[in-house]
C-alpha cells in the first residue's frame, strides 16, 4: 500500500502520525525512499517506503471503527496469564500486530489489573505506551483533541471496571458480589 503526503497512518509500536514528506535518502551508500512521519510529541520517524507494509504500517481506522474500538473498552477483561513475564510477551505480540483492537484489549486488561493488584514497572510502561498508541489513533480517526480522547478512554475503562469487577466478585471486599447486593438491597 502506498501513502501520500498528508495521509494519516499507524506505525506499530509507535502510534499514529501523519506523512509529512516522502524523501529519498542515502544511508550507508544505499539510496531509498522514506516516509517521514510526524508522530505525537513532535517526534519524526523515517520508514522505508519499500518495507512499510512488511513492518505493519497501515492507514488509520475510520470514525465508525473508532466507535467500535471505544466499545471494546467497555467489555470485561480477557483472559491473561498469571505470570507477568508471559503476560508481557503476549502483550508485546499484540502491540507488534498493529491491530487497534488488540491495543485496546491491552489498555483495558492492564488497567483492570492495575486497579486490582497493581502492575510491575515494566507493565506500567507497557500500559502507558499502549494508551499512547490507542489515543494517537483515536485522535486522528475522530479529529478530536488529545485530552478529550484520553478522558473518554479513562471514563470507559473506569465504568467498565466498576461494572465488571462488581459482577465478577472483584468488589474490593472479601465477600461475593451477590452477598453485597443482599446486604444493601432489602429482600422482600
Q: Which residue has the higher pLDDT, 169 or 28?
A: 28
CA distance readout (Å), 162 to 88, 174, 183: 24, 16, 18
Under CATH, which architecture does the 8-59 domain have? Beta Barrel (2.40)
CATH number, span 63-167:
1.20.58.1290
Q: What is the pLDDT of residues 57-102, one digit of tens each?
A: 999 999 999 999 999 999 988 888 888 889 999 999 999 999 999 9
- The span from the CA of 117 to the CA of 112, in Å, is 9
Whether 36 contacts 22, CB under 8 Å: yes
> In this prediction, what percent of the chain has a pLDDT beyond 90?
68
- The span from the CA of 133 to the CA of 24, in Å, is 27
DSSP 8-state symbol, 49:
G
Whether 117 contacts 128, CB under 8 Å: no
Dihedral sign (CA 139, 119, 14, 74): negative
- The span from the CA of 172 to the CA of 167, in Å, is 12
Point out which residues pair with 117 in neighbouring strands.
Answer: none
DSSP 8-state symbol, 120:
-
Phi/psi for 68 (5° steps) reads: -65, -35
- Residue 42's pLDDT is 82
Every domain of the chain with CATH number 2.40.10.170 lies at 8-59
Every domain of the chain with CATH number 1.20.58.1290 lies at 63-167
- Residue 172's pLDDT is 45
- Residue 127's pLDDT is 96
- The span from the CA of 147 to the CA of 132, in Å, is 12
Q: What is the pLDDT of residues 98-140, one digit of tens each?
A: 999 999 999 999 999 999 888 989 999 999 999 999 999 999 9
CA distance readout (Å), 57 to 36, 134, 141: 12, 15, 16
Q: Quick check: 184 pLDDT over 50? A: no
Amino acid at each position: 500500500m502506498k501513502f501520500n503526503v498528508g495521509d494519516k497512518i499507524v506505525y506499530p509500536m509507535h502510534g499514529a502520525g501523519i506523512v509529512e514528506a516522502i524523501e529519498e535518502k542515502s544511508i550507508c551508500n544505499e539510496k531509498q525512499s522514506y516516509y517521514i512521519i510526524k508522530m505525537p510529541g513532535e517526534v519524526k520517524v523515517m520508514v522505508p517506503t519499500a518495507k512499510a507494509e512488511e513492518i505493519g504500517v497501515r492507514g488509520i481506522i475510520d470514525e465508525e471503527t473508532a466507535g467500535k474500538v471505544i466499545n471494546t473498552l467497555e467489555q470485561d477483561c480477557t483472559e491473561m496469564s498469571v505470570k507477568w513475564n508471559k503476560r508481557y510477551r503476549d502483550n508485546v505480540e499484540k502491540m507488534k500486530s498493529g491491530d487497534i483492537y488488540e491495543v485496546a484489549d491491552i489498555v483495558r486488561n492492564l488497567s483492570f489489573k492495575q486497579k486490582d493488584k497493581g502492575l510491575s514497572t515494566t507493565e506500567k510502561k507497557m500500559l502507558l505506551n499502549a494508551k499512547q498508541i490507542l489515543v494517537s489513533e483515536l485522535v486522528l480517526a475522530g479529529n478530536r483533541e488529545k485530552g478529550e480522547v484520553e478522558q473518554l478512554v479513562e471514563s470507559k475503562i473506569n465504568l467498565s471496571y466498576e461494572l465488571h469487577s462488581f459482577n465478577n466478585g472483584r468488589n474490593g471486599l472479601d465477600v461475593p458480589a451477590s452477598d453485597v447486593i443482599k446486604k444493601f438491597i432489602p429482600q422482600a
